[in-house]
């Protein structure tokens, strides 16, 4: 691609996206607001001929609690912090969308599909955290397979992903399951791996250069090319080096160039 493209991708998650931090009591009104905003946005997009990718949590694809429970992946993430798992909150999910507008979104998904130039992508099935301890690749594969299956029931072939909390990882699995595009991150410190390799441990391997390249978009998508990477976006290096906490602070305040002082912290990419 020779030219840049302005791309719109929106995360569609309702309460699943924030349940670890919020409750219906303190955030429910905002979630209900989504149900007004989406139709309004769709009208605006149609009027102005704007394409958009809706990165949708797979758990929103159901009409009933029974259907949801029947479609959960057998292999679930075993996060060290159980409270970040969507499955931790299954017991508070209502019977269906009519009775529980916070956890069900099928009617909204169908509404999106009724509008031109809108793409349904995935925000993983369960709002999966790839970089959290326990967000391993086997669980991620099972999660994405569940997302793909439930989307397939509506005739949707998923080809784009937005990683929850921007925790970009496991790109080989994405590629394996037919995804062609993901939303990249800006080159800013808070999107880099969080734990310090220098001080002994980190939760995830950095992305490999080959994984990155192979996950680049290869064909036009209906909504957009929707990539923050590959075509002028951040390089793989942006995601792959580990910065010690002290350096983090110095870097953030612009006092120290990490690469100049600590070359061993630079990415180990071929």
Q: Which residues bind Zn ion (CB under 5 A)?
A: 11, 13, 17, 164
Q: At closest approach, how far in Å is the CB of 206 from Zn ion?
A: 22
Q: What is the DSSP letter of 222?
A: S
Q: At closest approach, how far in Å is the CB of 128 from Zn ion?
A: 10
Q: At closest approach, how far in Å is the CB of 167 from Zn ion?
A: 10
Which secondary structure element, helix H or strand E, spans residue 53, and what is its range? strand 52-56
Comparing CB distances to Zn ion, the nearer of 226 and 236 is: 226
Q: At closest approach, how far in Å is the CB of 113 from Zn ion?
A: 20
The span from the CA of 232 to the CA of 3, in Å, is: 9
Comparing CB distances to Zn ion, the nearer of 164 and 230 is: 164
Is 140 within 8 Å of 182 (Cβ atoms)?
no
Comparing CB distances to Zn ion, the nearer of 18 and 46 is: 18
Is 103 within 8 Å of 59 (Cβ atoms)?
yes
Q: At closest approach, how far in Å is the CB of 18 from Zn ion?
A: 8
Comparing CB distances to Zn ion, the nearer of 194 and 237 is: 194
Q: List the alpha helices (DSSP H) in 78-227.
A: 106-113, 137-152, 171-176, 209-214
CA-based R_g, the chain, Å: 19
Comparing CB distances to Zn ion, the nearer of 164 and 211 is: 164
The span from the CA of 106 to the CA of 113, in Å, is: 11
Q: At closest approach, how far in Å is the CB of 63 from Zn ion?
A: 22
For Zn ion, the nearest residue by Cβ is 17
Is 223 within 8 Å of 117 (Cβ atoms)?
yes
Comparing CB distances to Zn ion, the nearer of 20 and 247 is: 20
Angle between helices 24-48 and 106-113 (to 10 degrees): 10
């Amino acid at each position: 691609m020779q030219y840049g493209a302005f791309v719109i991708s929106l995360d569609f998650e309702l309460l699943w996206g924030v349940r670890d931090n919020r409750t219906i009591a303190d955030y429910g009104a905002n979630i209900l607001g989504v149900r007004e905003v989406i139709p309004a946005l769709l009208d605006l997009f149609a009027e102005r001929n704007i394409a958009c990718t809706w990165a949708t949590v797979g758990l929103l694809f159901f009409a009933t609690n029974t259907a949801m429970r029947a479609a959960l992946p057998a292999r679930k993430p075993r996060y060290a912090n159980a409270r970040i798992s969507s499955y931790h909150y299954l017991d508070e999910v209502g019977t269906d969308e009519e009775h529980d507008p916070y956890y069900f979104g099928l009617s909204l998904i169908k509404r999106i599909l009724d509008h031109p130039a809108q793409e349904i992508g995935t925000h993983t099935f369960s709002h999966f955290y790839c970089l959290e301890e326990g967000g391993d690749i086997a669980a991620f594969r099972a999660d994405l397979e569940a997302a793909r299956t439930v989307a397939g029931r509506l005739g949707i072939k998923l080809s784009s992903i937005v990683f929850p909390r921007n925790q970009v990882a496991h790109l080989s699995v994405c590629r394996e399951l037919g995804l062609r595009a993901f939303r990249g991150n800006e080159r800013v410190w808070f999107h880099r791996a969080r734990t310090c390799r220098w001080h002994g441990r980190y939760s995830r391997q950095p992305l490999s250069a080959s994984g990155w390249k192979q996950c680049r978009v290869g064909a036009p998508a209906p909504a957009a090319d929707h990539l923050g990477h590959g075509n002028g976006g951040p390089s793989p290096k942006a995601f792959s080096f580990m910065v010690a906490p002290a350096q983090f602070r110095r870097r953030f305040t612009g006092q120290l160039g990490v690469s100049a002082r600590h070359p061993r912290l630079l990415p180990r990419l071929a």
